[in-house]
Structure 1
């Protein structure tokens, strides 16, 4: 099997579009179709169900994809070893992250990636979970660090870390010595992340379980803005403790003593697993290391690796 045919198959599977695959491989759509037909003829099986808006790997296609991924990965590693070169990347590394990651261990990850890929450009997109996963799906990102994984063909996910969630507010607004029940919290102004986001959706069962409803609620799509509103005494919010560790240490914010703790928030990395396996694998390995080192540095119980 020719290397170009294997690479064509994995690129087509990732992009799910003959035109985009042709553009990425600097060829034509008929050439992509011809290569796919040759592969299917060789294995005597239809590998991709396509047409009328449908693009789906068959069981045989899944098997062939895994084989091609492994083969291309090995070939890339052999080429790197024979040339004696370190990993290189001509195109930018496209990272996506939620606010919390951007405000905590993302700077360390960027430094580590620059050290591993000298001279590489890094494009960082900071957004909510849904837009990040959509960007990954549309091939605008290589890796996304979000609260939920992207579960789809051609993508893999792993847990980067878990973050302790706390209720926090300005000492001008809250009483650090009081033990707040869900009922107490429901009577306070609450600032949450954007509606329909995973952190926002977490609030509903927190109060509904107690047959309460937080009515004085303001949503915001920026962690930076939420923190500043808290410091100004605008309300209280449920946030990862590590994202406001400096404000807690300085006394600008206080953690509320609550009768009902919040569940931890996961940070999940999702990434494309079909092309440039050496580069993507290096990014993944580096992010695992950086997240682990960050968790070991911060206050115990505020961030951990499962």
Structure 2
């Protein structure tokens, strides 16, 4: 199984494999339990260790033990699997919910990370559930929720209202990035240095833009040239083409960083992390919305467990 087959978020099968291997401390017995082969177990373990970028198990002859990192991963995987199994049992008791429609809105940063696994898991739990997914900016999502156009949204700001409930699904680390055409990866850039470069960001009055302005105003400097776009995809392409630098969620440019299309900029002042806030109307289709929220929390947790903990984490 190649990493490209695995997708951006770690699968339940991978977590189950790691837990079984940690329990048996034996590749053969773990393979028997999971009805697979020892080479398959080895490949999955190697893929998990590659995902985290560290060794999770020590194997010396017949001796078999977890590293300290492996102990942390095991505890997290056990918690996620327990929640997953509990949710499956609960959902099986509410199969009648599958005939309904759920309207989900999300920002680009969610659609490019854990939204696809969420949709897949909802369809798996409710085969007849109709999902209407809209990708928009935070402002439009909140306005749509207020107008009754969405049941659940995932944005950067919470929706405010008596019937609205909000929660932090996860937190994404932001990083300054730019093309190797215009930045020196070995240099440490000050706020003044960045202010003298073209800046690419999201439109004015959006939460990411509101995070950009204080970053410079705190130092009483302003960007000399600013380009905005409401599309994460467009911003990434502009960065790759060398039109400027920008602060962007690190997990959304993992591939570009790995390929060298973009470089993280070493800065003297870090950019604040960006929370992903889920909001929903607790007065509409209460049971279905609650199930969607529970599944979203689980998918966000699974995603955070599958990436570098410095890139995304639970609040």
**8 Å Cα contact 1:154/1:272 also seen in 2:** yes
How far apart, in 1, do the equivalents of 2:278 and 2:93 lie?
Answer: 30
Which residue is 1:186 aligned to?
195
Cα–Cα, structure 1 residues 234 and 161, in superposed 2: closer, same or farther, change >3 Å?
Answer: same
1:88 aligned counterpart, secondary structure: helix
Which residue is 2:267 aligned to?
258
Q: Is residue 90 of structure 1 aligned with residue 87 of structure 2?
A: no
Shift >3 Å, 4+ stretches: none
Of 155, 159, 172, 2:164 maps to 155
Pairwise CA distance, 1:86? 1.9
Which residue is 2:81 aligned to?
none
Pairwise CA distance, 1:90? 3.0
How far apart, in 2, do the equivalents of 1:253 and 1:85 lie?
Answer: 46
How far apart, in 2, do the equivalents of 1:199 and 1:274 lie?
Answer: 30
Q: Is residue 145 of structure 1 aligned with residue 117 of structure 2?
A: no
Query: Which structure: larger Rg?
Result: 1
Pairwise CA distance, 1:300? 1.8
Which residue is 1:297 aligned to?
306
Which residue is 1:60 aligned to?
none
Pairwise CA distance, 1:291? 0.1
Which residue is 1:49 aligned to?
none
How far apart, in 1, do the equivalents of 2:223 and 2:308 lie?
Answer: 30
Give unpaired runs (5+ residues) of structure 1: 1-80
How far apart, in 2, do the equivalents of 1:168 and 1:145 lie?
Answer: 24
Q: Is residue 212 of structure 1 aligned with residue 213 of structure 2?
A: no
Which residue is 2:183 aligned to?
174
2:301 aligned counterpart, secondary structure: helix
- Could you say what the CA RMSD is over the residues aligned between the two structures, in angstroms? 1.4
Aligned residues, how many? 225
How far apart, in 2, do the equivalents of 1:272 and 1:134 lie?
Answer: 13
How far apart, in 1, do the equivalents of 2:118 and 2:93 lie?
Answer: 25
Per the normalisation by structure 2, the TM-score is 0.69
Pairwise CA distance, 1:87? 4.3
**8 Å Cα contact 2:188/2:265 also seen in 1:** yes
